[in-house]
Amino acid sequence: MDKILVHGGRRLRGTVKISGSKNSALPILAATLLTKEPCTISRVPDLSDIHYMLTILSELGCEVERASGMVQIRAEKVKTHAPYDIVRKMRASVCILGPLLGREHRATVSLPGGCVIGDRPIDLHLRGFEALGASVKVSNGNVMILAPKLTGATISLRSTFGSTVLGTGNVMMAAVLADGQTIIDGAAEEPEVVDLANFLIAMGAKIDGAGTRRITIEGVKELHGAKHEVIPDRIEAGTFLVAGAISGDEVTVSRVNPEHLLAVTSPLREAGFHITVNGNKVSVSPGPKRRALKLDTIPYPGFPTDMQAQMCALLATTDGISVVSEHVFPNRFMHVAELKRMGANIDLQGPTAVITGVPKLSGAPVMASDLRASAALVLAGLQADGVTEVNRVYHIDRGYESIDEKLNELGAEIERVKA
Ligand code: EPZ
């Protein structure tokens, strides 16, 4: 397994081009199952999770062609049973259920396992499918869904932890070809849900309200092929802005949508950094004094759970006491033990991390766990004395396109050691 060596203490400066969004591309690639005609998706990032999704689509019978960031998919004939050995590698595979149900009225996918950020149920997805007239059976670790007929319905996707992003996408993809009107109440408002809705509309779907808690869908008879460019990855952009905050003179992320970044740039301003916006560029630079923060992760447009680990790395060396609470994935603190190995002073109290800033972290061998925690360890290494060795780097490659090369272009000194 590859590992990454981060030599601490280098100052970052410059501009980094942000890739297309992983969390937008994955459901959009799955949505191409809804038509027999070819679809062309551009700005698809080169990530292992994308590779898994394209492999699953090929296994289902799709013709898949990829040329750099452009993917062409044609789902003329599709099977409805996704192979366990690939699906188990990526929870997001669950988003093929909706389009298979919408198009073939049946789907069999292995249940996504838990993962290091906690139990990852799909009960809300299944509730939505059943409301549309599907029967759901779970056996031998597979979920089998059958719907002789799909009829529009009013569905609530509200849950203890807010809404469900992939669940909203899945129900949308099952409802676009159902008979009649579907109302999704308590829908996720993430930009990735809006991007998926825009692609479905380009295919001929009738969808209103994407980006709000209430989405209305009028079922149509069929969908046609379409072309679509994926939105910028707001979490990759946020990660680089935090890298700049941790060890930058001035770092700029380009080809972004600044509005999608407000939930990250606002806390960075509150933490004492200068943020400037210029068209599709956002820059971060040091302010006169850094301040500790109280942060709560909540669904969009709130502070994103996918940025929580990265902010912990920044707050670890911010003078004062910061309090970070996870309301989406209460167990998403695998990075805390590793940051403490680097000298961070963090006290975990259930879903809350109380962080007492220390002047400096020290490099150490650390273990990556989920993709955002891994990125946080690389960021922590940027500011640490000595070398930080981040193991199990495959986690990072799932969600970041060449993060080491992009950071080195900003002035970091990071080596990737092939195992
Ligand atoms: C998406 O996952 C993202 N992944 C995650 O990003 C992100 O952390 C998450 O949304 C929240 O923003 C992709 O888009 C591929 P959820 P998703 O369903 O849709 C509970 C990353 O780092 N829940 O919105 O799977 C669930 O347990 C990844 O890029 C149910 O209870 O997450 C969680 O507590 C990690 N029942 C909360 O809702 C369900 O049926 C939010 O989960 C579904 C979810």
Residue 90 confidence (pLDDT): 86
Q: How far is CA 138 from CA 5, 96, 111, 169, 292, in A?
A: 44, 16, 8, 21, 47
Residue 392 confidence (pLDDT): 87
Per-residue pLDDT at 120 exceeds 80? no
Q: How many residues does the chain have?
A: 419
Q: Nearest residue CA, atom 30 of ligand 1? A: 121
Residue 114 confidence (pLDDT): 59
Q: Nearest residue CA, atom 7 of ligand 1? A: 306
What is the arithmetic mean of pLDDT over 388-417? 94
What is the arithmetic mean of pLDDT over 153-182? 95
pLDDT digit string, tens, across residues 48-89: 999 999 999 999 999 999 998 999 999 999 999 987 887 888
pLDDT digit string, tens, across residues 318-373: 999 999 999 999 999 999 999 999 999 999 999 999 999 999 999 999 998 889 99
Per-residue pLDDT at 404 exceeds 70? yes
Q: Which of 39, 62, 95, 115 is catalytic?
A: 115
Ligand 1 centroid to residue 91 C-alpha, Å: 9
Domain with CATH 3.65.10.10 in the chain: 2-19+232-418, 22-229
Residue 142 confidence (pLDDT): 87
Please report, rounded to a whole number, the percentage of residues in the chain having pLDDT higher than 90. 88
Residue 117 confidence (pLDDT): 65
**CATH 3.65.10.10 for domain 22-229:** yes
Ligand 1 centroid to residue 164 C-alpha, Å: 6
Q: What pTM was computed for the model?
A: 0.97
Please report, rounded to a whole number, the percentage of residues in the chain having pLDDT higher than 70. 98
Q: How confident is the model at residue 7 (pLDDT cuts 50, 70, 90)?
A: very high
Q: Nearest residue CA, atom 9 of ligand 1? A: 165
What is the arithmetic mean of pLDDT over 239-263? 97
371 CA: nearest ligand 1 atom: 22
Identify whether the C-beta of residue 122 lies closer than 8 Å to the C-beta of residue 114. Answer: no
Per-residue pLDDT at 118 exceeds 80? no
Residue 240 burial by Cβ neighbours in a 10 Å radius (0-12, 13-18, 19+): buried
Ligand 1 centroid to residue 250 C-alpha, Å: 32
235 CA: nearest ligand 1 atom: 29
94 CA: nearest ligand 1 atom: 25
Q: Is 115 a catalytic residue?
A: yes
Q: How far apart are CA 133 and CA 331, in angstroms?
A: 34
Tell me the best of 19, 22, 23 to mutate to test the pocket of ligand 1, counting ligand atoms within 8 Å of each CB and taking the most: 23
Per-residue pLDDT at 113 exceeds 80? no
Q: How confident is the model at residue 418 (pLDDT cuts 50, 70, 90)?
A: confident
Per-residue pLDDT at 393 exceeds 90? no
Ligand 1 centroid to residue 92 C-alpha, Å: 9
Mean of the per-residue pLDDT values of the chain: 95
Ligand 1 centroid to residue 338 C-alpha, Å: 23
Per-residue pLDDT at 100 exceeds 90? yes
pLDDT digit string, tens, across residues 24-47: 999 999 999 999 999 999 999 999
Ligand 1 centroid to residue 43 C-alpha, Å: 23
Third-level CATH fold of 2-19+232-418: UDP-n-acetylglucosamine1-carboxyvinyl-transferase; Chain (3.65.10)
What is the arithmetic mean of pLDDT over 164-181? 98
Per-residue pLDDT at 419 exceeds 80? no
Q: Nearest residue CA, atom 39 of ligand 1? A: 122
Q: How confident is the model at residue 103 (pLDDT cuts 50, 70, 90)?
A: very high
Q: How confident is the model at residue 2 (pLDDT cuts 50, 70, 90)?
A: confident
In sequence order, the 6+-apart residues with CB closer than 8 A to the CB of 390 are 3, 4, 5, 6, 366, 367, 368, 374, 377, 378, 381, 396
What is the arithmetic mean of pLDDT over 138-165? 92
Residues in contact with ligand 1 (CB, 6 Å cut-off): 23, 26, 91-92, 120-125, 159, 161, 164-167, 188, 192, 305-306, 328-329, 371-372, 399
In sequence order, the 6+-apart residues with CB closer than 8 A to the CB of 217 are 152, 172, 175, 176, 178, 181, 182, 183, 184, 205, 206, 207, 208
